[in-house]
Amino acid sequence: MRVALKDPRDGGINNALVLDDSSASPMVGPDGDVYYGVLGNPFNGSRGWLLHFSGDLTQTKTPGAFGWDNTAAIVPRSAVPSYAGSSSYLIFSKYNNYAGLDGGDGVNKIAVLDPNDTMVEPHTSSNRLLVMKQVLTIAGPTPDPEFTAQFPTAVREWCINTAAVDPATRSVMANSEDGKLYRWDLTTNTLSQVVTLSPGIGEAYTPTLIGPDGTVYAINQAVLNAVGRRPALSTLSINDVSVGEGNSSTRNVVFTVSLTPASAQTVTVTYATADGTATADTDYLRAEGALAFAPGETTKTITVITKGDTLNEANETFFVNLSDPSNASIGKGQGQGTILNDDALPKLTINDISAVEGNAGTTLAVFTVKLTPASGRTVTVNYSTA
């Protein structure tokens, strides 16, 4: 089976361009779909397209808008925690938007695309073509001095032939024309520099791959760079706590939040209480806030105040939830607080009565059943005469 490579604009009437020195290769997704990067025709705006076909090449599917001369890469959906769509995998690509070319503003990006969702491509040369939806994007970090006078947001181009995706750290290795190799963290959507390469057009197109142990390998000017895996994030966890209710006043319930192992960075996390069977401000006082672990610290505490009473009732629960961590991941993110009932069962008593029989008809004999003290639960009892 053969298929003609077409520019997807204008109904695909023009053949796409594939340069003799192009280093792009076809890529096959886990579902068998085929992706291949081409140049647009006409070459207005230096547009490139990620063509998308069924595995047997009989069906043309929604393309991706991207920078030309790029081989797409598979990103597991689990590597992008913010993704809420239905695709079983996502696509990594670059998105060049060259300054001054047919409306381009120089904001060159890398992107994670959803192959099964769409958006209107906003570039003026794209004729409002429907393309794969951008799930996550980030612009290059280095201003482009050639264009910033006219286009203040212009940045150096991403120079990626084949991206190196590292699912274990939820990141992608990406080369920039500024001469640096960056790690794109898909959880925080931030960049961190990994190694400095040789800047300039061409030199920054650096073959990069990730070994089975997580080591990043990059070739630049006949030099092989090996960069160790970024240390795994420390993990935050909160314990469960039980406390006797008490009859009056208040008690402190102290939760411990642990960071394992200690981090060389400041770690922060927010927390907030939530009702279980206990009710905020009736059984306990609601609490929320943030914790900050200085480098080397491994434990912090959260104090929640409970309120006592004299009602016999079932044990009651509330929760403390951790969220929004920085420089750490969350392991056990919910601590359960249990307020233990310490009130004795109330007693049921029935009184004695006397009634005058009378000579005819009936007389009511009314007994009173008392519960002492009042209970926090529903109390039932059976009765019968004898």
The whole domain housing 114 covers 9-227
**Looking at the domain assignment, is residue 369 inside a domain?**
no
153 and 272 in a single domain? The answer is no
Q: Kindly tell me if the per-residue pLDDT of 298 is higher than 70.
A: yes
| Residue 5: exposure state from Cβ atoms within 10 A (0-12, 13-18, ≥19) | middle
**Looking at the domain assignment, is residue 349 inside a domain?**
no
**Looking at the domain assignment, is residue 149 inside a domain?**
yes
Residues 318-336: what's their mean pLDDT?
93
301 and 161 in a single domain? The answer is no
145 and 270 in a single domain? The answer is no
260 and 219 in a single domain? The answer is no
167 and 295 in a single domain? The answer is no
In angstroms, rounded to a whole number, what is the distance separating the alpha carbons of residues 96 and 88?
26
Q: Which is more confidently placed, 161 or 63? A: 63
Lowest mean pLDDT among 98-112, 127-141, 214-228: 214-228
From 273, 272, 288, 270, select the one nearest 324 (Cα to Cα): 270
Predicted confidence at residue 203, as pLDDT, reads 47
79 and 179 in a single domain? The answer is yes
Contacts 24+ apart (CB under 8 A), 19-26: 19/69, 22/68, 22/69, 23/69, 23/71, 23/161, 23/205, 24/68, 24/69, 24/70, 24/71, 24/161, 25/71, 25/162, 26/71
129 and 269 in a single domain? The answer is no
Q: What's the CATH number where 38 sits?
A: 2.40.128.630
60-74, 181-195, 254-268, range with greatest mean pLDDT: 254-268
Q: How confident is the model at residue 230 (pLDDT cuts 50, 70, 90)?
A: low
127 and 216 in a single domain? The answer is yes
**Looking at the domain assignment, is residue 153 inside a domain?**
yes
**Degrees to nearest 5, angle at CA 129 with 127 and 134:** 125
Q: What is the pTM of this model?
A: 0.59
Which of these three, 227, 253, 269, is where a domain ends?
Answer: 227
Q: Per residue in 131-167, pLDDT tens?
A: 999 999 999 999 988 888 888 989 988 877 677 888 8
Total number of domains in the chain: 2
Contact yes or no for 197/175 (Cβ under 8 A): yes
80 and 193 in a single domain? The answer is yes
Q: Kindly tell me if the per-residue pLDDT of 204 is higher than 50.
A: no
166 and 111 in a single domain? The answer is yes
Predicted confidence at residue 197, as pLDDT, reads 64
273 and 152 in a single domain? The answer is no
Q: What's the CATH number where 249 sits?
A: 2.60.40.2030
**Looking at the domain assignment, is residue 275 inside a domain?**
yes
16 and 156 in a single domain? The answer is yes
Residues 361-383: what's their mean pLDDT?
83
Lowest mean pLDDT among 93-97, 137-141, 299-303: 93-97
